[in-house]
Structure 1
């Protein structure tokens, strides 16, 4: 009798669908781990699962197959994204990620963004391999945003003279041309105020219709700026960074893009490590590149524990006039304890650092 009852109990447990007994919201969070397309496919499992995907809190769309890398038909992709957004049950979405390998009408992308931002999304990522212009005002008005990634081949982003995002912690911009929308008589100085931003990466971005760009980031710890494209003189780069808690700084690019390095306000910042990689182009002489680096180093004001400078391949040796002690940052002559050189043909250190 005991064995019969035990067998019956075991069969009941074996036939039980544990996941189906979970609340809809919990199943939705589990399905959020999957790519959105895979989450939707669970609707064919049973009647119980037909609508559970509508409770997902994370959305990831891409117009290529994730494993085979085959491109998805554009019309099918558009229908899929619109269908998912229309049928979602959740009023709040945690994250939205969009990867586009083809060129799309920006009106579609802007409609998707408006839908998602109205749901209080906190993490937003758009990656486009083609040129894409998106509406910036809906993003700039979304104060719940904590993570923002905009990576494009070339994208246009129109902003007012003052931008404030109260919750933004992580920011990455790549391939973006920021256009400052100001009346002709108003100041053309752009201020980006992100009071809780901790990490910022800016790659091949430029600023149009501005005279200066100020980044106010009192809690910023990691800053990376990279310029590897040649820009028109009408374009500017960031000229002032107010980051008293900066720990890591990385600057890669052409010296002429940072118009006046004396405006890079880092004097009150103690930086654990700094990495500088100046790019040398036909538009610049070797002397200008070296002097630019020296000016940039002066702004660090002796407040760097570890400094790494990687010279371009073209700069194998320095002329004697470039070794003028007046051009050498004071930190080199006062605080420097260790120097390492690699692949340097000619360098007379005795005339620059006699006490090393």
Structure 2
């Protein structure tokens, strides 16, 4: 007896993908809970996820982030341009920004000034600057333009007194 093998035609409808059907709010909430370097790495999951990390609302540049970047092939020293590049890709508002500068990493003060100015346009609510170096870090006067700021944490950083009629109205 001969068996007849029939070929099945592939279904034209794609199977339902649970991750791709999530709303942007849910995805952002999930990504905000991941360490920054892992949230960015979700771009490799699929074509649909390539730019999802750019919806992050919380950016935390901590010791783990700096160690991860230093461990990448080709990085002999930390390049602060990677933080600038990450910031330029973020689409929406940034509610929380944490910069914890380890004592073995040297950042250019001008770059930090540009980051603060950038954050002032992103509606930031919470800012933490933690400097682990011996010398205090002078923050720019553009820090006073962070009008939506509700929480400010500074460690080994300083600001010159605010000009008259300037300051942080929500703190």
TM-score range, shorter chain: 0.7 to 0.9
Secondary structure of the 1:99 match is: strand
The equivalent of 2:138 in structure 1 is 133
Report the TM-score, using the length of structure 1 for normalisation. Answer: 0.38
**Mapped partners of 1:147, 1:106: distance in 2:** 22
Which of the pair has more CA radius of gyration? 1
1:146 pairs with 2:150: yes
- Matched ranges for 1:60-99 at <5 A: 60-62=60-62, 64-65=63-64, 72=70, 73=75, 76-90=78-92, 92-99=93-100
Offset at residue 159 of structure 1 (A): 1.7
**CA deviation profile, 1:57-104 (whole Å, cap 9, x unmatched):** 111113x336xx6782585542321111111111x1111011111232
Going by fraction, where is strand more abundant, 1 or 2? 1
**Mapped partners of 2:76, 2:132: distance in 1:** 15
**Mapped partners of 1:53, 1:85: distance in 2:** 11
Going by fraction, where is helix more abundant, 1 or 2? 2
Give the unaligned 5+ runs of structure 1. 1-14, 169-356
- Aligned residue pairs total 148
Answer yes or no: is the 8 Å Cα contact 2:37–2:68 preserved in 1: no
Report the TM-score, using the length of structure 2 for normalisation. Answer: 0.75
Answer yes or no: is the 8 Å Cα contact 2:119–2:146 preserved in 1: no
Secondary structure of the 2:106 match is: coil
The equivalent of 2:107 in structure 1 is 104
The equivalent of 1:26 in structure 2 is 26
**Mapped partners of 2:61, 2:113: distance in 1:** 15
The equivalent of 2:9 in structure 1 is none
**CA deviation profile, 1:16-37 (whole Å, cap 9, x unmatched):** 4212112334312321111221
Q: CA RMSD in A?
A: 2.5
The equivalent of 1:304 in structure 2 is none
Flag the structure with more relative contact order, 1 or 2, with Cα contacts below 8 A and sequence separation at least 6: 2
Answer yes or no: is the 8 Å Cα contact 2:35–2:60 preserved in 1: yes
